[in-house]
């Protein structure tokens, strides 16, 4: 059976590493916020804790060092993997020793440390997955990554809440839960050390000047710090002053909230326009060879610049439609919080997992180009589900009553009505989104050179997040101007440029696919 040929020791390792990658995310996000809230930390302080996730944004800065240097004894990639996972475990044990209401600053510092080790682990896992999987295995491997990642998020961001619930759960202290998560990370590090296969011998560290790489790293960090100061101290005030005449004050004298949204977007663009060339200049002057050679290697590839455009555009329509989906369902369509929670958490997450697995399996037969195109078209069409909700409204298809339940992952204390149209729209969006994500991850892997997978994948994934970051301010302004139905139509239109690029680049994309070989459908 073709499935047995695909699901081997390597793919099982990819599944487990996907789980390891997803576990820490909620522990510096929703779960941490829940711990802070229940321990009596004020809301203003909790708001500042959102900044602990910054290492995820800047992981590309130290990714070249993880390409260049190998830790002794364990081998390429595996040494960094075990080190980051043990670092995560130690940080989780450490944070469990503090009481947030008494040591908020200490908790914040350790949370940043958790995010740093988590982001570093992601760099290694992305590189390892790219190194160890053959071209023909990447589609299924990317779907297993999504599967493991989502399962881990259910544990650390779903089951953990049940463990902490004093009314209907276990009533465990959050410190105990973080200790349990630390133990799980120790187990995962042991699995990484003794179970996962080594990377191919063809994957070797680049032979660059180690001293220059370290000096270059710090030079780039300084450039980014200068760029951040430029953005906050100069670009943001300049953008607000420039745009103020376009957004007159409201009748009550308060500033138009859309002003800040547009000013933030403009200042972000100005900051990037200043910081990226500065960082590039610093890397050149300091001879940050691993970064410089990695980028030169990528841009020597046919269609490299166009691929960056495609990376930004492929999920743009999907990200645009989902940027303000919760406010739409609550205010625009008047669904209840319980109804949205049940549909998204109980049905939606599992449908995303199913969509990713189905997408990865289909890629075996379709190949990379056809998968990107077909799944991209399905993502576009899924936006019409929410357009239809915006047009006909709640109750157009009727609904059914969901009785109370407790399935550990989520619970419902009282019966609630579930709208069939909402369920259909969420189901289609999650299924197609899972398929598109599986193809997209396989696409990013195909673009990376094995010598520089950590650096190149970190940079490519940073470009992939550009659309998601920028669409929020634009979406908020557009909705007030054109309304929800036209907004969802526009989100579908925004998916077209990415699909057009896939079609125009079909020859280049097909060159990234697996060579003709064994027919996996045999046996």
More confident residue, 148 or 268: 148
Query: pLDDT of 265-306, one tens digit each?
Result: 788 778 878 988 898 899 889 988 888 888 888 888 888 889
29-33: which pairs have CB atoms within 8 A and are 24 or more residues apart? 29/53, 29/157, 30/157, 31/156, 31/157, 31/160, 31/161, 31/174, 31/177, 32/111
Q: CA 215, 212, 72, 84 torsion: positive or negative?
A: positive
- Mean of all residue pLDDT scores within the chain: 82
The 10 Å CB-count burial string (b at 16+, else e) for 6-29 is: bbeebbbbbbbbbbbbbbbbbbbb
Q: Count CB-CB contacts under 10 A for residue 73.
A: 9
Q: What is the pLDDT confidence band of residue 189, given thresholds at 50, 70 and 90? A: very high
Delimit the CATH 1.20.1250.20 region(s) of the chain: 1-205, 301-516
pLDDT at 132 > cutoff 80: yes
Taking a C-beta distance cutoff of 8 angstroms, is the pair 329, 101 a contact?
no
Taking a C-beta distance cutoff of 8 angstroms, is the pair 106, 483 a contact?
no
DSSP structural state of residue 405: E
Phi, psi at 412, each rounded to 5°: -135, 115
Closest CA to 394 of 419, 376, 369: 419
pLDDT at 519 > cutoff 70: no
The average pLDDT across 320-343 equals 75
Q: What is the pLDDT confidence band of residue 415, given thresholds at 50, 70 and 90? A: confident
The β-bridge partners of 405 are 412
Q: What percent of the chain has pLDDT over 90?
A: 23
pLDDT number for residue 468: 59
Phi, psi at 400, each rounded to 5°: -145, 160
Q: What is the pLDDT confidence band of residue 184, given thresholds at 50, 70 and 90? A: very high
The average pLDDT across 429-447 equals 87
pLDDT at 390 > cutoff 80: yes
Taking a C-beta distance cutoff of 8 angstroms, is the pair 442, 363 a contact?
yes
pLDDT number for residue 342: 67
pLDDT number for residue 26: 83
Orientation of helix 420-446 relative to helix 304-314, angle to 10°: 160
Phi, psi at 406, each rounded to 5°: -145, 105
Q: Are strands 416-419 and 399-402 parallel, antiparallel or unpaired?
A: antiparallel
**3-class state of residue 24 by DSSP:** coil
DSSP structural state of residue 513: S
Taking a C-beta distance cutoff of 8 angstroms, is the pair 401, 417 a contact?
yes
CA triple 213-217-219, angle to 5 deg: 115
More confident residue, 516 or 133: 133
pLDDT at 16 > cutoff 90: yes
Q: Can you read off the two tokens belonging to residue 245?
A: 């005449």
Closest CA to 216 of 154, 293, 152, 289: 289
pLDDT number for residue 470: 61
Q: What is the pLDDT confidence band of residue 400, given thresholds at 50, 70 and 90? A: confident
Rounded CA separation 122/120 (Å): 5
pLDDT number for residue 522: 36
Helix (H) or strand (E) holding 417: strand 416-419
Identify the top-confidence range among 57-71, 328-342, 372-386: 372-386
Q: What is the pLDDT confidence band of residue 190, given thresholds at 50, 70 and 90? A: very high
pLDDT at 373 > cutoff 70: yes
More confident residue, 464 or 22: 22
Taking a C-beta distance cutoff of 8 angstroms, is the pair 66, 119 a contact?
no
pLDDT number for residue 140: 82
Q: What is the pLDDT confidence band of residue 63, given thresholds at 50, 70 and 90? A: confident
**3-class state of residue 411 by DSSP:** strand
Rounded CA separation 213/290 (Å): 7
Rounded CA separation 502/508 (Å): 9
pLDDT at 237 > cutoff 80: yes
Rounded CA separation 498/309 (Å): 8
Q: Report domain 301-516's class.
A: mainly alpha
The average pLDDT across 338-357 equals 73
More confident residue, 345 or 514: 345
More confident residue, 472 or 233: 233
Q: Are strands 411-412 and 416-419 parallel, antiparallel or unpaired?
A: unpaired
Q: What percent of the chain has pLDDT over 70?
A: 87
More confident residue, 169 or 116: 116
CA triple 407-408-410, angle to 5 deg: 75
DSSP structural state of residue 449: -
Rounded CA separation 370/173 (Å): 49
Phi, psi at 71, each rounded to 5°: -75, 145
Residues 6 or more apart whose CB falls under 8 angstroms from that of 167 comprise none
Range in 128-132, 133-137, 228-232, 472-476 with the lowest mean pLDDT: 472-476
The superfamily in CATH containing domain 1-205 is: MFS general substrate transporter like domains (1.20.1250.20)
Query: pLDDT of 107-123, one tens digit each?
Result: 989 998 999 999 999 99
pLDDT number for residue 520: 32
pLDDT number for residue 523: 34
- What does the chain come to in residues? 523
Q: What is the pLDDT confidence band of residue 352, given thresholds at 50, 70 and 90? A: confident
More confident residue, 247 or 439: 439
More confident residue, 206 or 68: 68
Strands (E) in 234-299, as ranges, are none
pLDDT at 334 > cutoff 90: no
Closest CA to 78 of 179, 188, 214: 188
More confident residue, 21 or 165: 21
Closest CA to 433 of 485, 396, 468: 468
Q: Are strands 416-419 and 405-406 parallel, antiparallel or unpaired?
A: unpaired
Closest CA to 194 of 28, 397, 16: 16
């Amino acid at each position: 059976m073709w499935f047995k040929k695909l699901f081997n020791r390597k793919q099982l390792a990819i599944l487990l590493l996907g789980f390891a990658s997803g576990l820490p995310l909620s522990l510096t996000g929703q779960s941490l916020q829940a711990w802070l809230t229940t321990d009596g930390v004020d809301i203003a302080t909790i708001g500042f804790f959102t900044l602990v996730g910054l290492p995820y944004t800047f992981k590309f800065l130290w990714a070249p060092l993880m390409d260049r240097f190998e830790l002794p004894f364990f081998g390429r990639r595996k040494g960094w993997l075990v080190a980051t996972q043990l670092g995560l475990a130690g940080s989780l044990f450490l944070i469990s020793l503090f009481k947030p209401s008494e040591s908020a600053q200490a908790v914040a510092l350790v949370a940043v440390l958790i995010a740093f080790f988590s982001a570093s682990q992601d760099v290694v896992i992305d590189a390892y997955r790219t190194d160890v999987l053959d071209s023909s295995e990447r589609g299924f491997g990317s779907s297993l990554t999504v599967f493991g990642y989502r399962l881990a998020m259910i544990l650390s961001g779903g089951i953990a809440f049940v463990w902490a619930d004093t009314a209907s759960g276990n009533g465990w202290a959050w410190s105990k839960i973080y200790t349990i998560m630390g133990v799980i990370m120790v187990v995962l590090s042991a699995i990484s050390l003794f179970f996962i296969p080594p990377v191919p011998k063809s994957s070797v560290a680049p032979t660059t000047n180690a001293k220059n790489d370290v000096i270059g790293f710090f030079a780039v960090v300084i450039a980014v710090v200068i760029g951040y100061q430029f953005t906050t101290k100069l670009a943001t005030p300049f953008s607000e002053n420039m745009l103020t005449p376009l957004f007159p004050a409201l009748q009550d004298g308060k500033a138009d909230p859309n002003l800040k949204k547009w000013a933030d977007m403009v200042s972000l663009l100005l900051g990037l326009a200043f910081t990226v060339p500065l960082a590039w200049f610093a890397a050149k002057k300091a001879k940050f060879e691993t970064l410089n050679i990695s980028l030169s290697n990528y841009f020597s590839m046919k269609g490299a610049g166009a691929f960056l455009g495609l990376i930004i555009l492929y999920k743009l329509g999907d990200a645009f439609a989902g940027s303000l989906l919760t406010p739409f369902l609550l205010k625009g369509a008047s669904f209840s919080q319980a109804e949205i929670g049940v549909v998204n958490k109980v049905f939606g997450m599992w449908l995303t997992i199913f969509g990713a697995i189905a997408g990865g399996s289909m890629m075996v037969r379709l190949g990379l180009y056809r998968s990107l195109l077909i799944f991209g078209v399905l993502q576009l069409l899924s936006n019409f589900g929410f357009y239809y909700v915006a047009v006909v409204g709640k109750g157009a298809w009727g609904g059914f009553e969901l009785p109370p339940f407790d399935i550990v992952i989520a619970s419902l204390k009282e019966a609630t009505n579930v709208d069939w149209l909402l369920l259909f729209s969420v189901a289609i969006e999650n299924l197609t989104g899972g398929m598109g994500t599986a193809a997209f991850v396989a696409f990013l892997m195909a673009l990376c050179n094995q010598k520089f997978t950590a650096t190149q994948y970190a940079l490519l994934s940073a470009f992939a997040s550009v659309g998601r970051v920028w669409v929020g301010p634009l979406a908020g302004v557009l909705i007030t101007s054109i309304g929800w139905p036209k907004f969802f139509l526009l989100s579908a239109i925004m998916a077209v440029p990415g699909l057009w690029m896939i079609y125009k680049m079909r020859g280049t994309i097909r060159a990234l696919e697996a060579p003709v070989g064994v027919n996996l459908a045999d046996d």
